[in-house]
Structure 1
Amino acid sequence: MPGGELVTARGGRDQGMGRPVARHAAWRWATAQAQLVLNNGDLGEILRFYRRVNALTQTDLGILLGYDKTYVSALELGKRRIDDVGSLRRVCAQLRLPPHVLGITDPADADHRAMVQFAASTVRLAEIARQSGHASEAVSELWPLVARLEARLEDGHCEREVLHLLGRARIGLGVALGNVLPEERLGTAAHWTLKGLNIAEHADDPEFTGYALRMHGNELRKAGLRGAAVDRLGRAVALAPDHSAQAAALPLLARAAGAMRDGALFDQVIRQAEALLDQVEHTSLVNPFALHEIRLRGLVATGRTATAIRLVEDSPAPTTTVAPQWRVIELVTVAHIMLLADDLRGATATLETAVAEATTQRLPHQLQRIIRTAGNRLPELRAAAAEVLDRLRGEMAA
């Protein structure tokens, strides 16, 4: 190691000071193992962990911290300790540790804790807003939060709780965008859910990873990447730790299987989802109303239109657990089947309601479904939906 320079892929040289500086992976403090080490607050254990995951020698770490190898060894063995606050702050800064880990309390740490509490509340409230039919408001709340958390990540602060919040905020932003963007821009929604999945897969948290796979897989389906969607959603089902998690993933996998026109997989998954309905608490996705719509659309996609026509009138009444956008989704699907059955009057009335509700909820993707469904058979409805869609596009461009 000539001149004491770090030669690992994670190292570089500070040209101004002539000392090596760390260029570490963003996930060094994000794993469950790292969290256990940090919770102990033992400096020696923290230093040993840091060297191990970053492939550093004691000499390397000493150069990084401004100590010699002997002093680093003594710190790791507990034979020496650092007592003055200035030195502890320098260690935290160099290793990108939150100050409270080493017992330091200062205004920056207080700001950090307040930021974490604010971020957790924002992510939770944005999810409630989205499920209540206010996806635009969810985007408005999550966009600045994601920017703030990513700025902290760029500064090198990668503690587990912040990365977990950033992952959920990215996913929430992607899913909300998936409601408010038109089809040609749905790749943006999938991009943000993928960024959340990237964090989840490094966080050593199967439950979080399963959630991220579920959300990303559904956005991939909406963006037209159906094979990738089935893969991600299948992995989410496999990772599900309990019936509730399985029930959340199975309807989305059924939709993706139907979109792929894989009748055998669709039938298998829809049966699994229906079998769980009585075993789990119903949510905006896991409920008889949503599952009925998924079944109808899947039947049409897999060439069983006659069966869908027979079942279209059997729709269960929506309950308080059904998200408002699901009502619009169901209306468009039912209208499509009515047209297949040559029921123009029923399809017209149903699509008129769908246009009104899609306009109120600002759902361009559903307006595009309405336009395709109306086609040449219902030109006035197609024109009305296109007019609203153009207006929403103009507002988004502005």
Structure 2
Amino acid sequence: MWSAGEAAAALASRDLATILRTYRRLNQFNQQQLANLLSCDKTYVSMIETGRRTINDVGTRRHIARTLGLPTHVLGVTDGGDADFAAMVQFGDSTIRLAEIARQAGRAVDAVNELWPLVARLEARTAEGHIEREILVLLGQARVALGVSLGTVLPEERLAAAARWTGRALIIAERLEDPFFLAHTLRMHGNELRKANRVSAAIQRLNHAVDLSADREGQGTALAFLARAAGEQGDRDMFDGAITRFRDLLDSGPAQGMLFNPFTFREIHLRGLVSTGRAAEAFQIMHTGHADATPAAPQWHIIERVTAGQVHLAAGDSDAASEALHTALTAAEAHRLPHQIQRTVRAANSGGLTEITTEGQAALLRLNRLLAPSEPEM
């Protein structure tokens, strides 16, 4: 409730009378109902709201804050950890940005390690009542970043955890009345749902993101995710529509971003063509043009090599497929990306490349051991 615009303005005033009046208005309470909630007399509430009574007692202020779900520090009730928390909030944006840079540079494990303490502190403080808009915005951004980073490093059987974090961010985004953040969260949550094999739900979120995204990069990213989801669902018409709109946006001006660039367009186009039964067309496209396209992040080179292997397999070229998948495996293990190793193994299995399958299973085992939590010392 306190994240709504009117309520946020009341909290920002730090004025108890304003806060009580706003609480009553938003909950459609009269003074007697609020008095009953606070276990006091109606006259007491009236005197506070009209400024005839000032509450200086810390215990009473804490009682009001807890009863109404207020951030306690808004009423001047603080503890020893508030200064430390305020410092963390001040640098929270920087923490998220640095984690995003690490993820995009192929260091998603480092991104998770940076984000987890921030998210844990924010979750704990909001549970205690520190839920004003500034904190809620930061928590929403941190949840998205953590979910996407987890979606990069988790194996397939645990990808639902990444989707849960981006889904929790969506709960916040839908309340903040910020279309840009809502569009971003819908894009990220839709893609994590797709990776967790909830493709129909992903397409619903991504269609909404396409409609809501007002900037070229945001809309291009949403279309890229939508094209991928439609391809995985085998919906040729939806895939063709999304990939065409994606290409038209790319052709309309300079492109930038992890998803909104020629390299990712080409990879998504190839994979979608194979998924919708047009492997011959994908094979032809893979060997023509776009030689100057480069990945925006290391993991995209790995994704593209797996896709190239799938295209070669569909065209019957086992040697080229084996080479592409071997390259993908080596890089995926180096960058600690179990999901891409599992995708490589699936591709190898489908083409009978037993050597690559064995190599991939061994790499996955080594990576799982590396990423497993260490045993506590006795």
Q: TM-score, normalised by structure 2?
A: 0.89
Instruction: Determine the structure 1 residue equivalent to 2:143.
Output: 170
Q: 1:218 aligns with which of 188, 191, 202?
A: 191
Q: CA deviation at 1:316?
A: 4.1
1: CA distance between counterparts of 2:269 and 2:215? 23
Instruction: Determine the structure 1 residue equivalent to 2:286.
Output: 312
Q: CA deviation at 1:357?
A: 0.7
Instruction: Determine the structure 1 residue equivalent to 2:376.
Output: none
2:4 is aligned with what amino acid? Answer: T
Instruction: Determine the structure 1 residue equivalent to 2:362.
Output: 387
1:256 is aligned with what amino acid? Answer: A
Instruction: Determine the structure 1 residue equivalent to 2:332.
Output: 358
Question: Are residues 1:282 and 2:282 paired?
Answer: no
1:56 is aligned with what amino acid? Answer: F
Instruction: Determine the structure 2 residue equivalent to 1:24.
Output: none
Q: CA deviation at 1:256?
A: 0.6
Identity, % of aligned positions: 50
Q: CA deviation at 1:199?
A: 1.8
Secondary structure at 1:284's aligned position in 2?
A: coil
Secondary structure at 1:267's aligned position in 2?
A: helix
Moved more, 291-300 or 387-396: 387-396
Secondary structure at 1:192's aligned position in 2?
A: helix
Q: CA deviation at 1:116?
A: 1.0
Question: Are residues 1:258 and 2:231 paired?
Answer: yes
2: CA distance between counterparts of 1:54 and 1:312? 60
1:36 is aligned with what amino acid? Answer: A
Q: CA deviation at 1:163?
A: 1.7
Instruction: Determine the structure 2 residue equivalent to 1:43.
Output: 16
**Cα deviation digits, residues 116-145 of structure 1 (max 9, x gap):** 123322222111111111111111122222
**Cα deviation digits, residues 28-67 of structure 1 (max 9, x gap):** 2112332233334443332111123344331233355565
Instruction: Determine the structure 1 residue equivalent to 2:298.
Output: 324
Contact 1:288/1:316 (8 A) holds in 2: no
Q: TM-score, normalised by structure 1?
A: 0.85
Q: 1:267 aligns with which of 205, 221, 240?
A: 240
1: CA distance between counterparts of 2:325 and 2:55? 71
2: CA distance between counterparts of 1:281 and 1:59? 59
For structure 2, the residue ranges without an aligned partner over 5 or more in a row are: 374-378
Instruction: Determine the structure 1 residue equivalent to 2:177.
Output: 204
Q: 1:147 aligns with which of 120, 132, 145?
A: 120
**Cα deviation digits, residues 196-235 of structure 1 (max 9, x gap):** 1122222232222221111111011111111111001111
Q: CA deviation at 1:89?
A: 4.4
1:170-249 mapped onto 2 (5 Å cutoff): 170-249=143-222
Instruction: Determine the structure 2 residue equivalent to 1:301.
Output: 275
Moved more, 138-147 or 256-265: 138-147
Instruction: Determine the structure 2 residue equivalent to 1:82.
Output: 54
Secondary structure at 1:202's aligned position in 2?
A: coil
CA-based RMSD: 2.4
Contact 1:88/1:102 (8 A) holds in 2: no
1:335-346 mapped onto 2 (5 Å cutoff): 335-346=309-320
Secondary structure at 2:11's aligned position in 1?
A: helix
2: CA distance between counterparts of 1:100 and 1:147? 19
Secondary structure at 1:303's aligned position in 2?
A: coil
**Cα deviation digits, residues 75-107 of structure 1 (max 9, x gap):** 334x42527474784444554444664578886
2:358 is aligned with what amino acid? Answer: A
1:385 is aligned with what amino acid? Answer: G
2:348 is aligned with what amino acid? Answer: A
Q: CA deviation at 1:355?
A: 1.2
2: CA distance between counterparts of 1:318 and 1:135? 23
Instruction: Determine the structure 2 residue equivalent to 1:4.
Output: none
Q: How many residues align?
A: 369
1: CA distance between counterparts of 2:83 and 2:71? 10
CA 1:88–1:195: 2 relative to 1, 3 Å: same
**Cα deviation digits, residues 325-375 of structure 1 (max 9, x gap):** 111000110111112222233222222211111111111111111112222
Contact 2:11/2:132 (8 A) holds in 1: no
Contact 1:98/1:157 (8 A) holds in 2: yes
2: CA distance between counterparts of 1:99 and 1:372? 53
Contact 2:306/2:344 (8 A) holds in 1: yes
1: CA distance between counterparts of 2:340 and 2:115? 23
1: CA distance between counterparts of 2:31 and 2:291? 67
